[in-house]
Structure 1
């Protein structure tokens, strides 16, 4: 199975918080999942933990490679930049990843790397994997909570994405 392309600073097991969520579903297409994932205007229709989404180019709500955008999630205002974007063409595994951050002091600053891998299996099922690795005191505080809100939040994102793509 395909995995995330990690930048060294965000390698799982070396950061303050890491979560991994996966869904394997049938009855959806990779193209539908991709369309719902890269079009930020759709996020709030299936995931209630992403609000106030603003792209630097307000004429288009679709994420593009290198694009800078902002949104609120888990109570944090996040600045983000798309670091990887590979559309599902010619049987390729689809990939979307962004670096996100919140500027602040030692108690409030943190950095994240959030990535999605979407692949079609030979029998038509679709695998959706999302993983996020976080650095900073707020990340460590999230990791100490049981259950981890990131784990539950990202599962809701995948479940909503599947439902929206049906």
Structure 2
């Protein structure tokens, strides 16, 4: 029997407590967590395999590789660029999953405010497989509106990100 790891959730963003939550996962053969990690943490690669991200910038001059406590901004889902900060960064290693999460915020009038935690877990599985799990909790009126759309654009957008990430790492 094998157990799988889970996302580490700060209490504020626990799934089911915000206005929108989605979970996407793939398990694929023939690629390693280390290779996936390289494409996930290098933001200069994102636009090459995911078309729902734009305007990535690093206000403090760092980047393009993500690291713990790094501030960055990016546009997605039609929102103006969100101010983001990496809050968990652990590269995958033997027996240890890769963990990446960031908060992203949009300030403004109450109907524009958005507060997000987007988390990733990347782990090697037996048999030459890799598991990639991405989950996001969103808080705010724009998130509640997204959650009512069918199909849910965030669910589909994150699946496109996963599919593109696997494709890039498999080349």
When the two structures are superposed, what TM-score results if normalisation uses the length of structure 1?
Answer: 0.97
Deviations 1:95-138 (A, max 9, x none): 00001110111100010000000111111100000000000000
The residue number in structure 2 matching 1:30 is: 33
Secondary structure of 1:6 counterpart: coil
Superposition pairs for residues 113-152 of structure 1, below 5 Å? Answer: 113-152=117-156
**Aligned match of 1:11:** 14
Indicate if the aligned counterparts of 1:56 and 1:67 stay in contact, CA closer than 8 A: no
Q: TM-score, normalised by structure 2?
A: 0.94
Which deviates further from its counterpart, 127-136 or 57-66?
Answer: 57-66
Give unmatched runs, 5+ long, in structure 2.
none
Contact 2:62 2:70 in 1 (8 A): no
Q: Provide the rounded CA distance (Å) in 1 between the counterparts of 2:159 and 2:53.
A: 13
CA distance in structure 1 between the aligned counterparts of 2:28 and 2:95, rounded to whole angstroms: 18
Q: Verify the 8 A CA contact 2:83 2:104 in the aligned structure 1.
A: yes
Q: Select which of 57, 72, 97 maps to 1:93.
A: 97
Instruction: Name the residue aligned to 1:65.
Output: 68
Superposition CA RMSD, Å: 1.0
1:75-114 alignment, distance < 5 Å: 75-76=78-79, 77-114=81-118
Q: Distance in 2 between matches of 1:41 and 1:110?
A: 25
Q: Aligned in 2, Cα 1:140/1:60: closer, same or farther, shift over 3 Å? A: closer
- 1:25 is displaced (CA, Å) by 0.5
CA distance in 2, matches of 1:50, 1:139: 17
**Using a 3 Å threshold, how does the CA distance of structure 1 residues 92 and 147 change in structure 2: closer, same or farther?**
same
Give the SS at the match of 2:100: strand
Give the drift of 1:57.
Answer: 4.4
Q: Which runs of 5+ in 1 are unaligned?
A: none
Q: In structure 2, how many angstroms separate the alpha carbons of the residues matched to 1:105 and 1:60? A: 30
Question: What is the Cα deviation at residue 40 of structure 1?
Answer: 0.3
